[in-house]
Amino acid sequence: MWKIEKCYIHVPEHKLETTMTSNSDSYQLVELNEARAFIERCMVSAGTKPVHAATLADVLVTADDRGHFSHGINRLDIYVDDIQKGTTLSDKEPVIVKETVATGYVDGSNLLGPVVGKFCMQLAIEKAEKAGIGWVVANGSNHYGIAGWYSIMALENGLLGMSFTNSSPYVVPTRAKECILGTNPISCAAPAKDGDSFVLDMATSGVALGKVEICDRKESAIPNGWGVDAEGKKTNDPKAVINGGGLLPLGGAEESSGYKGYGLAMMVEIFCGILADGDFGPNIRKWKDASRVANLGQCFVAIDPNVFAPGFTDRMQSLIDICRGQEPAEGETKVLVPGDPERKHMKKVDKEGGVRYHNNLITALDKLALDLKVQKIKTKQSQI
């Protein structure tokens, strides 16, 4: 796994804290409830319905709480911009266009992605509780934050959960130099025993665009294999990726099996834009282009494991325990399963009484508050 000084990236549990912080950086502590309240007052000031603002705040703060800073409050200004310019709406609700006992087809009404996603996963959960499975797709949606927030909704109801979304074309297919596909994330959550669980939340690109954006904000290099410049050449400059370049699929270049990530990204596109008749591939607007609607396609699945073989949680726990119980390779501390680094980060946030945000981000949030004429985010200084 990569370790970059002064840059937030997803890394193994024992490396998480040292990667997120360094002695030369300054961070400020923000309580979770204050982060939620700040997001809500910003979004309401921008013209968002309060209940919609609260849903967005829950998703963004959950991302930061779990250590996925690329999908948290760092992106608040973009949601604000979409609402202010009218390319994302807040005066409607999602609509069920077609449904069966186990499926649903939803028009997201061009609302905030978390509003659409919450509606769809709740519908999928209801269907799974009745029919054993709920499979819901939506078009007319927008960026919905971390995919794991939706699969965890199913998990909290004792169900298997899956969530997929297509996204703006920032990923270069294997052997190409033009961005055609999105980071197209996959999330799967499965319950085990006594509150334990498997929670996978990953992009089908080598890294999410937001992680490159954070490195750019902090003026840090990106590692090999994350992206290419406008000519399709590998680069360590985040600006070259953001300005005309692109991300590489999971696996990187062809010689390191990047075509597998490319294939997974297309699979997600099938479940989302193709199945739901949303925009897909290069037809999707760029992430910060507020000149037209996003019309993203998304997919939400809930499965009751009890309609299959009994004893699912026992077997799931056994697999988790087997993986965690493996002898670590030289230089490592212990073997983790998906969801473990996030659990550790949440314990850290709970112990410290809030999330650490870099000073550069706090400065950007203060400017946003000034523009929106709302109270600035309340912080507690933390030098680390």
Ordered by where they begin, the domains of the chain are 1-85+337-384 (1.10.1530.10), 93-199+257-308 (3.30.1370.60), 207-247 (3.30.60.50)
Strand 133-141 vs strand 103-107: parallel, antiparallel, or unpaired? parallel
- The overall average pLDDT reported for the chain is 91
Instruction: Say how far apart CA 89 and CA 14 lie, in whole Å.
Output: 42
Residue 102 CA to residue 100 CA, distance in Å, equals: 5
pLDDT at 260 over 50: yes
Q: Would the pLDDT of 382 be above 90?
A: no
With vertex at residue 283, the alpha carbon angle to CA 278 and CA 287, rounded to the nearest 5 degrees, is 90
The residue with greater pLDDT, 384 or 379, is 379
76 and 98 in contact (C-beta within 8 Å)? no
Question: pLDDT class for 25, splitting at 50, 70, 90?
Answer: low
**pLDDT of amino acid 253:** 85
pLDDT confidence of 381, banded at 50, 70, 90?
low
What's the pLDDT tens digit per position in 142-153? 999 999 999 999
55-95 pLDDT, tens digit each: 999 999 999 999 999 899 999 999 999 999 999 999 999 99
* pTM, entire model: 0.90
Q: Which residue has the tokens 């897909």?
A: 280
